Amino acid sequence: MVMVVRMVSPDSALAIAPADMLSARFDDLGVTLGPDGGTLRVWSHAAESVELVVFDDTDLDWITGTVPLVPADDGVWTTTTPLLRPGARYAVRVDGPHAPGNTFNRGTLLLEPYSRGLVRTGYDGWRSVVVEGTFDWGGVTKPAVPMDRTVLYEGHLKGLSKRHPDVPGALRGTYAGLAHPAMVEHFLKLGVTSIELLPVHAFATEPRLLQHGLTNYWGYNTLNFFTPHAAYATEEARRQGPEAILREFKGMVRLLHEAGLEVILDVVYNHTAEEGIGGPRSSLRGIDNRAYYRQADDGAYIDVTGCGNSLNTSTDAAARLVLDSLRYWAQEVQIDGFRFDLAATLGRDADHTFTPDHPLLRAIIDDPALADVKKIAEPWDVGMGGWQTGNFGDGWTEWNDRYRDRVRNFWLSDVDYARRASTSPVGVGGFAHRLAGSANTFSAERGPLAGVNFVTAHDGFTLRDLVSYDVKHNLGNGEHNRDGADTNRSFNHGAEGETDDESILATRRKAMRNLLGTLLLSAGVPMLTAGDEFGRTQRGNNNAYCHDSTLTWLSWEHAPWQRHLHAHVQRLIRLRSENPALRPMRFARWGERTPSASVMEWYDEHGQTMSIDRWTDPSHRTLQYVAASTPELEQFNRVLLMVHGNERAIDITLPRIDGVTRYVSLWSSADESPTEAGTEHACGDLVELAGTSMRLFRVE
């Protein structure tokens, strides 16, 4: 992060709040094809000249034509020429004044920001490509999965299918491979509804990684906001060019939609691959550096992303670029939703302060073109005031890091502490808040669906590593183990990493089931990380962004315990679907009937209403949670979830509730493989609960 004192003055020409980003002058930027060829429109506030450069189709260094652009309207430059035909390779050159913050160079060949296709020249050069984008959707429409029924599955486009034995070799690790019947079958059998892909916008690997023989595997280093990453297409599509790559991408979306699966894209609009000053000048930096990136008066970058630069969404053009990209993917490519990386950066104003009413954030919610897509914020960045969980506005769903931390603490670090100190550090109250939808984080108006619950994500330990390692093991990243989070709230259960001790392995397996059970039985929107359903490991690496290898690709060869874990996840997702009490859309209000809320009652291990002391007493980490739905769209439903947070087994008395005659067992985390449901118990019966375990019942 770059710390600066002098900020761009709010009354400077560039610190214009993007209230006018919807102005018609920003319409149709990029290339629009017509009867006279293509019309190119480029925005640059400070440019003195803009030139189109067209190249030979095969020799990307051979210039076949140049055309000057003329000023059109308040920073927009334009030209219409027959040279801009489908498949044409082109770039722009921009010249302007030399002043602090400007980096114009009339000799630099730049990517046009709205390019629908890219081709590479040399190891670090690129050309824009004119793409028609026609595609027959065959009447297939978006699945439109309701948010309360959404189960997100976060995975890497390449890593998901790269090692799958039933996917043909030519398709593994590609867009087509993700939509292969073998992959679709896995998603459907598991029960997830929405595939959330790590970045698939065209991206580049940082020179620093290349020097270490590594690569940017995750893809959080975007070159262009409109072009799918070419390396994820099949060899045949790459040979045919950008039009075929886009067609393969759309074909993937269509096939997943036919199966009823949504496609969510992780989008990186907070920074670009141009890095800090001195990094590549590939596009925005050469077109209008001062307008597109956050800077101090002297031109020093204000980096709130930790990636060298931060997109300046306080200017109309930068905000509109983001909005137009979202519209393109949502409409032309039929994407179902977006997860916004470091979304707090997008909501910073001209003074670089986050505001939930930022015009871009409001425009994303209010735009009719985006009305049918899910908007998921990673609600933080690394700048001052960057942690904003719970502070985004209506219409946004947020990654709930408070949920992640509390759930990890309860099942892992608190248990580790109790082994050392013979008592847990905290009671069950904070955990219960997260289980019930995080009402202490999200407002009553937004409700529990404002939060995406997760225990793991691409960034950090896998589920198996979370229960197998106390510390990170990132030496393979080339940074002497300095990278990656140091605070993981993990617990190795008695041995660091691999072990043959069956007692430790059994305890780890139960811990994984507890974490997955909590995730999939909590109010809110659950997100499962790909491979966790099988207990995937990255051998203790909690920052594997730079490994494109078997370390990060999913393995599809599984031991019996991994198949049992997969069966637990299937059961839990099915139970979530079948029991609306587990997925309320609203928070209940005391003394009121709130449709589609769950009325929650809390009991201790004796079947008595939880007292204040029991919530906070670290020696009593046991509760019974009864959730009863308030029917609006589905039939009445009521469930009971038992949670026991210490390692001593306990007998629990089922609560006596008016009108309740029996409790039907549905699931237990103590089982190595899920047993058939159906065991019945009466009110007041004693039920044995294993140490650190959970049980779910249907209440009848």
pLDDT of residue 13: 36
Measured CA to CA, the distance from residue 686 to residue 614 in angstroms comes to 20
**Taking CA 337 as the corner, what is the angle to CA 333 and CA 340, rounded to the nearest 5 degrees?**
115
Instruction: Tell me, yes or no, whether 655 and 521 share the same domain.
Output: no
Instruction: Tell me, yes or no, whether 415 and 497 share the same domain.
Output: yes
pLDDT above 60 for 463: yes
pLDDT of residue 615: 95
pLDDT of residue 630: 96
pLDDT above 90 for 18: no
Catalytic one of 248, 378, 533, 605: 378
pLDDT over 70 percentage in the chain: 97
Confidence band of 136 (pLDDT split at 50, 70, 90): very high
Residue 50, domain member (yes or no):
no
Domain end position, chosen among 531, 565, 599? 565
pLDDT of residue 19: 55
Contact 232, 158 (CB under 8 A): yes
pLDDT of residue 49: 98
Distance of CA 41 to the CA centre of its chain: 32
Residues 6+ apart with CB under 8 A from 56: 62, 64, 89
Contact 250, 135 (CB under 8 A): yes
Residue 96, domain member (yes or no):
no
Domain end position, chosen among 532, 565, 598? 565
Instruction: Tell me, yes or no, whether 613 and 683 share the same domain.
Output: yes
Mean pLDDT, rounded, for 120-141: 94
Classify residue 227 by its DSSP letter.
Answer: S
pLDDT of residue 234: 98
C-alpha pair distances (Å), 136 with each of 85, 478, 676: 21, 46, 45
Known catalytic membership, residue 95: no
pLDDT above 50 for 274: yes
C-alpha pair distances (Å), 510 with each of 93, 431, 464, 568, 665: 60, 18, 11, 11, 18
375 vs 7, more confident: 375
Instruction: Tell me, yes or no, whether 429 and 544 share the same domain.
Output: yes
Contact 329, 265 (CB under 8 A): yes
**Taking CA 492 as the corner, what is the angle to CA 489 and CA 494, rounded to the nearest 5 degrees?**
135
Residue 547, domain member (yes or no):
yes
Measured CA to CA, the distance from residue 199 to residue 157 in angstroms comes to 8
pLDDT of residue 676: 80
Measured CA to CA, the distance from residue 394 to residue 326 in angstroms comes to 18
Instruction: Tell me, yes or no, whether 662 and 539 share the same domain.
Output: no
pLDDT tens digits, 563-606? 999 999 999 999 999 999 999 999 999 888 999 999 999 999 99
Mean pLDDT, rounded, for 412-429: 96
Residue 337, domain member (yes or no):
no
pLDDT over 90 percentage in the chain: 95
Residue 189, domain member (yes or no):
no
pLDDT above 60 for 12: no
Residue 109, domain member (yes or no):
no
Residue 690, domain member (yes or no):
yes
Measured CA to CA, the distance from residue 583 to residue 568 in angstroms comes to 19
pLDDT above 50 for 254: yes
C-alpha pair distances (Å), 221 with each of 117, 229, 248, 496: 17, 11, 22, 33
- Containing H/E element for 389? none
Instruction: Tell me, yes or no, whether 629 and 518 share the same domain.
Output: no
pLDDT above 90 for 547: yes
pLDDT above 70 for 238: yes
pLDDT of residue 678: 81
Known catalytic membership, residue 341: yes
Structural domains counted in the chain: 2
pLDDT of residue 466: 98
C-alpha pair distances (Å), 489 with each of 388, 422, 456: 21, 19, 11
Instruction: Tell me, yes or no, whether 554 and 424 share the same domain.
Output: yes
Instruction: Tell me, yes or no, whether 540 and 486 share the same domain.
Output: yes
Catalytic one of 275, 324, 341, 533: 341
pLDDT of residue 564: 98
Confidence band of 443 (pLDDT split at 50, 70, 90): very high
- Containing H/E element for 238? helix 235-240
pLDDT of residue 380: 98
Confidence band of 16 (pLDDT split at 50, 70, 90): very low
Determine the structural domain holding residue 428 and report its residue range: 402-434+457-565
Instruction: Tell me, yes or no, whether 612 and 531 share the same domain.
Output: no
pLDDT tens digits, 553-562? 999 999 999 9
- Residue 412's CB is within 10 A of a number of other CB atoms, namely 24
How much is the mean pLDDT over the chain?
A: 95
Measured CA to CA, the distance from residue 399 to residue 423 in angstroms comes to 31
- Containing H/E element for 503? helix 502-521
pLDDT tens digits, 163-218? 999 999 999 999 999 999 999 999 999 999 999 999 999 999 999 999 999 999 99
Residue 126, domain member (yes or no):
no
pLDDT above 70 for 272: yes
**For 367-481, where are the alpha helices, taking DSSP H only?**
401-408, 414-421, 429-435, 463-466
Measured CA to CA, the distance from residue 44 to residue 186 in angstroms comes to 47
pLDDT of residue 9: 34
Contact 216, 198 (CB under 8 A): no
Contact 297, 9 (CB under 8 A): yes
pLDDT of residue 518: 98
Instruction: Tell me, yes or no, whether 421 and 535 share the same domain.
Output: yes
Instruction: Tell me, yes or no, whether 537 and 619 share the same domain.
Output: no
DSSP SS3 for 147: helix
pLDDT above 80 for 123: no
DSSP SS3 for 171: helix
Instruction: Tell me, yes or no, whether 559 and 663 share the same domain.
Output: no
CATH number at residue 610: 2.60.40.1180
| pTM assigned to the model | 0.96
